[in-house]
Copies of this chain bind each other. A is one copy, B any other.
Amino acid sequence: MDTAYHEILQRSSNWYLFPTYTGQVSEDIECDVFSSACPSRPVLEDVTGRWGALALGALADGPMRFNELRRHVDGVSQKMLAQSLQALERDGLVLRDVQSTFPLKVEYSLTPTGAVLAGKLLDLIAYLTTSMPTILTAQQTYDEAHTG
């Protein structure tokens, strides 16, 4: 990965460009999340980000409307949910189906790729959940040791 490409990508903080990917996308692209310039970095953040992960996980239950999703992902604001969903839609992980009836009806669902990622996320979350007793005691121990 040459330095010029590096510089271009690092300059754009949130809205990333990948000029070299324009046109045909060959499979011999080296994609490494551990490299800060790789386009996969922001996608990983969309997927594992605070609300993105929960939105994906919730959608694994099946298609859902906006406010329905909002209730599932407890604590998320309208703004952040809309923002996260847009990012996921842009990444081709979430589908947005608008029915222009009145009142407006918008259904969100997972694309095949999104469904796989959601599954892996839920797998991680499930393990995390079962590990919570261990984790909580670890936190207590740590906090007691670091008093002051």
Name which residue of chain B comes closest to A36, CB basis: B75
Our pick among B29, B31, B39, B128 for the contact of A40 (Cβ within 8 Å) is B128
Our pick among B48, B54, B92 for the contact of A49 (Cβ within 8 Å) is B48
Our pick among B44, B127, B131 for the contact of A53 (Cβ within 8 Å) is B44
State in angstroms the CA–CA spacing of A45 and B54 once bound together. 11
Could you give, for residues 48-91 of chain A, a 1 whenever the CB lies within 8 Å of some chain B CB and a 0 otherwise? 11100110011000000000000011110000000000000111
Could you tell me if A31 and B90 are in contact, using CB atoms closer than 8 angstroms?
A: no
State in angstroms the CA–CA spacing of A124 and B45 once bound together. 12
* Main SS class of interface, A: helix
Q: Is A3 an interface residue (CB 8 A)?
A: no
Name which residue of chain B comes closest to A35, CB basis: B74
Could you tell me if B142 and A89 are in contact, using CB atoms closer than 8 angstroms?
A: yes
Could you tell me if B44 and A132 are in contact, using CB atoms closer than 8 angstroms?
A: no
Our pick among B25, B120, B139 for the contact of A92 (Cβ within 8 Å) is B139
Could you tell me if A58 and B34 are in contact, using CB atoms closer than 8 angstroms?
A: yes
Q: Is A117 an interface residue (CB 8 A)?
A: yes
Our pick among B39, B45, B127 for the contact of A50 (Cβ within 8 Å) is B45
CB-defined contacts of A21 to chain B, threshold 8 Å: 136, 140
Could you tell me if A113 and B129 are in contact, using CB atoms closer than 8 angstroms?
A: no
Our pick among B40, B53, B116 for the contact of A129 (Cβ within 8 Å) is B40
Q: Is A103 an interface residue (CB 8 A)?
A: no
Name which residue of chain B comes closest to A116, CB basis: B127
